C-alpha cells in the first residue's frame, strides 16, 4: 500500500499538541493549568512542560487528555506523531535523499 502524503501550506511545521491543549482545550473547558493537572492526575509542572511545547504527549498522557476532553487518545497521539515526524524529516532531509528506494516490497507468497 502506498503512503499518502498530506501537503501542508507553505511547508509549515505541524503545531505541537501542547499548543492545542493550551490554546483550545483548556479555555474551552474553562480550566486553569492547576485544575487541569489535578483532574489529569499529573503534576502542574508536567502539564506545563507539555503546554510549553518542550515535552511530547506520551501514550499515557494522551489517554489522560483524551479522557478529560472526551475525544479519546488517538487524536492526541496523531498530533504528536505528525509533529515528531515532520521535525525528524527536516533533520534527516539530506541523509534521506541519499537512500535509494528499493520499490514495492512483496509480502505475500512467492509467485509460482
What predicted TM-score, i.e. pTM, was given to this entire model?
0.79
Quick one: cell of 84?
Answer: 515528531
Q: What is the pLDDT of residue 11?
A: 75
Q: List phi, psi (to 5°) of 58.
A: -80, 170
pLDDT in tens, 8-66: 555 789 999 999 999 999 999 999 999 999 999 999 999 999 999 999 999 999 999 99
- Let me know: does 57 contact 79? Beta carbons within 8 Å: yes
- CATH code, 26: 1.10.260.40
Q: Would residue 64 count as lying in a domain?
A: yes
Q: List phi, psi (to 5°) of 39.
A: -65, -35
Q: Which residue range forms the structural domain that includes residue 58?
A: 13-97
Quick one: cell of 82?
Answer: 505528525
- Distance between CA 29 and CA 69 in Å, rounded? 8
Domain count, the chain: 1
Q: Would residue 78 count as lying in a domain?
A: yes
Q: Would residue 32 count as lying in a domain?
A: yes
Q: Would residue 5 count as lying in a domain?
A: no
Q: Which of 78, 44, 77, 72 is nearest to 58 (CA)?
A: 77
Judge residue 5's burial from the number of C-beta atoms within 10 Å of its C-beta, 0-12 exposed, 13-18 middle, 19 or more buried.
Answer: exposed
Quick one: cell of 89?
Answer: 524529516
Amino acid at each position: 500500500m502506498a503512503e499518502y502524503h498530506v501537503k501542508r501550506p507553505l511547508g509549515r511545521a505541524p503545531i505541537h499538541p501542547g499548543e492545542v491543549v493550551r490554546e483550545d482545550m483548556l479555555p474551552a473547558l474553562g480550566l486553569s493549568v492547576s485544575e487541569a493537572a489535578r483532574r489529569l492526575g499529573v503534576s502542574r509542572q508536567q502539564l506545563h512542560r507539555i503546554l510549553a511545547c518542550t515535552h511530547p504527549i506520551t501514550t499515557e498522557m494522551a489517554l489522560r487528555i483524551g479522557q478529560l476532553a472526551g475525544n479519546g487518545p488517538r487524536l492526541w497521539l496523531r498530533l504528536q506523531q505528525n509533529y515528531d515526524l515532520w521535525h525528524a524529516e527536516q533533520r534527516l532531509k539530506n541523509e534521506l535523499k541519499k537512500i535509494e528506494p528499493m520499490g514495492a516490497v512483496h509480502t505475500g507468497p512467492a509467485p509460482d
